[in-house]
């Protein structure tokens, strides 16, 4: 039972790292750079009746003016804003600002170009629900626009 919890926690840490566009490998014991969004893993579970799929839930808190690196997921990502306001953008779409009670979706092939706290003075907090294939990477780093 304990090993199952540790495995689920470790999987959640990897999902959180991917969600935030972290480019370097990290383990559960590593710290995230100062000023980076704070991630709290809530749960990871296999989806009953859906072979080889799992769902994860995390919260992400962004400091005032905080942002994540550009990234994409091999997952369907549903974002619900709990506090503050977030500016979000996937390639091919205009940026949107979403506030408490509003949602944002990223498809498995979307490039999540902008994920930033819309405020320079107040924190923002989001709830993230992700569905992905087991064993597949959660995220891939994406070069900045105009980079080689």
Confidence of residue 28 (pLDDT cuts 50, 70, 90): very low
Q: Is 148 inside a domain boundary?
A: no
To the question of pTM greater than 0.95 for the whole model, the response is no
Confidence of residue 60 (pLDDT cuts 50, 70, 90): very high
Alpha-carbon distance 11 to 48, whole Å? 18
Confidence of residue 113 (pLDDT cuts 50, 70, 90): very high
Give pLDDT tens digits for 87-101: 999 999 999 999 999
Give me the number of domains the chain comprises.
Answer: 1
| Residue 65 burial (C-beta neighbours within 10 Å; 0-12, 13-18, 19+) | middle
Q: Are 61 and 141 in contact (CB under 8 A)?
A: no
CATH number of the domain to which 15 belongs: 2.60.120.10
Which domain does 95 fall in, by range?
Answer: 2-141
Rg (alpha carbons) of the chain, rounded to whole number = 15
- Determine the average pLDDT of the residues in 62-75: 92
| Residue 142 burial (C-beta neighbours within 10 Å; 0-12, 13-18, 19+) | middle
Place of tokens 């009746």: 49
């Amino acid at each position: 039972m304990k090993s199952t919890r540790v495995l689920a926690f470790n999987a959640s840490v990897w999902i959180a790292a991917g969600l935030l566009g972290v480019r370097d490998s990290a383990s559960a014991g590593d710290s995230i750079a100062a000023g980076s969004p704070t991630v709290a893993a809530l749960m990871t579970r296999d989806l009953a009746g859906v072979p080889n799929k799992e769902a994860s839930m995390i919260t992400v808190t962004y400091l005032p003016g905080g942002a994540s690196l550009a990234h994409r997921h091999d997952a369907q990502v549903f974002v619900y804003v709990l506090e503050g306001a977030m500016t979000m953008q996937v390639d091919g779409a205009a940026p949107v600002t979403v506030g408490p009670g509003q949602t944002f979706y990223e498809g498995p092939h979307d490039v999540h170009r902008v994920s930033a706290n819309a405020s320079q003075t107040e924190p923002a907090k989001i709830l993230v629900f992700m569905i992905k294939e087991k064993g597949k990477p959660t995220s891939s780093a994406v070069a900045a626009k105009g980079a080689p």
